[in-house]
Structure formats: structure tokens, C-alpha cells
Structure 1
Amino acid sequence: MSSEVTRKPLLTVTSGLSRNAVILKLEGELDVNVLQVLREHLEPVWALPPKPFLILDLGELSFCDSMGMNELVGVMQRCESRGTRLLLGGVQGVMARVLSITGLRHAFEVFARLDDALRLAVAKP
């Protein structure tokens, strides 16, 4: 069912801050129809002074199309230009498969559990 029919976004993004990281949790589907939702949540992140880490919690994503992957690559490139490390946490199931199939598994810093990504961000000064 499309978001136009239900009038609900197929992607929910929540955010939080830690000393070294901005954390965004993505829930639902990351596809061409909801890219603007993610972009709107990233605008204030890009407006902040750069943090050492941006962590995307992908554990609750149920779908990601090629445009969603393209957006993640764009986020990675933006992070690199700011000197921020992008960590993908909760990468299992659908997202693990998509990253593997696309050959992007090794382009990102990927963690099966969000806690592992958080632990890395906390450990770095």
C-alpha cells in the first residue's frame, strides 16, 4: 500500500545526540517515495558543527530500493567531506542483503548490532 493511499509516511526517522555522535533511527521503507523525509531529518545534522560520528540505525528498515541506497551513498560522501565517520548499525536481514548484493558492504562501516556502533563512537575521543 502506498503512502498516498494511507497518508502515512513509509519511513519514520528519529534522532538523538551523544557526545561524539548524531544518531538517526530509520524505521520502515527507504525508497524513492520517502527520500525527502530522510533529507529533512538530515538538514539540522548538516547545520550542526561536525561530530566525529553519524550513526544510522537501520535495524528496523524492512525495504531499501536503489534510490535509498543512492541516498545512503550520498550521506556517506557528505560525512567524508565533513570529517565525520558514518556508521551503519543494526545491519541484518534486508539491509545486510541489499548491501551485499550491491557490493556496497565494504564501502560502509557496518555493524550487525547498533550497540557495537555506539560502543565505537563512545570509545573514540
Structure 2
Amino acid sequence: MSAGANGKSTLSVTSGLSRNAVIIRLEGELDVNALPVLREHLQHVWELPPQPFLILDLGEVAFCDSMGMNELVSVLQRCEARGTRLLLGGVQGVMARVLSITGLRHAFEVFAKFDDALRLAVATS
């Protein structure tokens, strides 16, 4: 059973800017209980002028359910509509398995290390 089974989010979301990228770091569980926290944070990003890159650092995500994956697909669609490239960094362990099992691994630009995603964004500036 998820630590968020009591209906409270166990996801921490932080963000920052790096040249031409918005960086969002997720830590904890990306599940149905976390969606309001993530959506509120993303709303601030969507209010900014579009940046060339949005990097989601998923290195500290310990759990991801189908609702979490649906939200990542929604973020991808929103990025595509804005002309922003979505990069998923730190994709190992749980997130690598979930992306592989769902068949979504190739729908996203995936990097095992966050630094590799950041390097791509910086090199493209």
C-alpha cells in the first residue's frame, strides 16, 4: 500500500530556471494523491512565456501509478502545443520500469541521468 493511501500527497515538487529550460524536480510518489500538487506547480509554469525545454527530474520518484503516467502524457501534450521539448531526466528504477511496461518509453525523450538532459538543453541554447 502506498504511503499516500490516507489521501495525502507524498510528492514534493520544486522548480527553477536554467538558461532556456524550466526544471521541475519531483520527489516521492507520483500517484492520484499527488496530482493536485503537481498540477498547481505546473500551472505556474504554463503562465510563463514558453521556454525551449521543460526538464522533469524523476530521479527521486519512488512510485508512479496510472494516473501519474496520464499526467506525464498530459504534460507532454501541453509542451508540444507550446513548442517546448519535454525531457525526462533521472529515469531509472521505478520510472524506467513504468515507462517500459506501459510502452511509453519511446513517447518521451528519456535520460537515465538528469545531468544528461540538462546538458542537451544547454547545448541546444
Alignment of 1:22-33 (within 5 A): 22-33=22-33
Q: Match for residue 11 of structure 1? A: 11
Cα offset for 1:18? 1.0
Q: Match for residue 110 of structure 1? A: 110
TM value normalised by structure 1: 0.95
Q: Match for residue 67 of structure 1? A: 67
Query: RMSD of aligned C-alpha atoms?
Result: 1.2
Q: Match for residue 84 of structure 2? A: 84
Aligned AA (1:113): K
Cα contact 1:63–1:94 (8 A) shared by 2: yes
Alpha-carbon distance in structure 1 between the residues aligned to 2:38 and 2:75: 10
Aligned AA (1:15): S
Q: Match for residue 2 of structure 1? A: 4
Alpha-carbon distance in structure 1 between the residues aligned to 2:23 and 2:57: 7
Show CA shifts across 1:35-79 (max 9, x none): 010001101100000000000000000000000000000000000
Q: Match for residue 53 of structure 2? A: 53
TM value normalised by structure 2: 0.95
Identity of aligned residues (%): 79
Cα offset for 1:3? 6.2
Q: Match for residue 100 of structure 1? A: 100
Cα offset for 1:33? 1.0
Cα contact 1:3–1:10 (8 A) shared by 2: no
Where in structure 1 are there 5+ consecutive unaligned residues? Answer: none
Aligned AA (1:36): P
SS at match of 1:17: strand
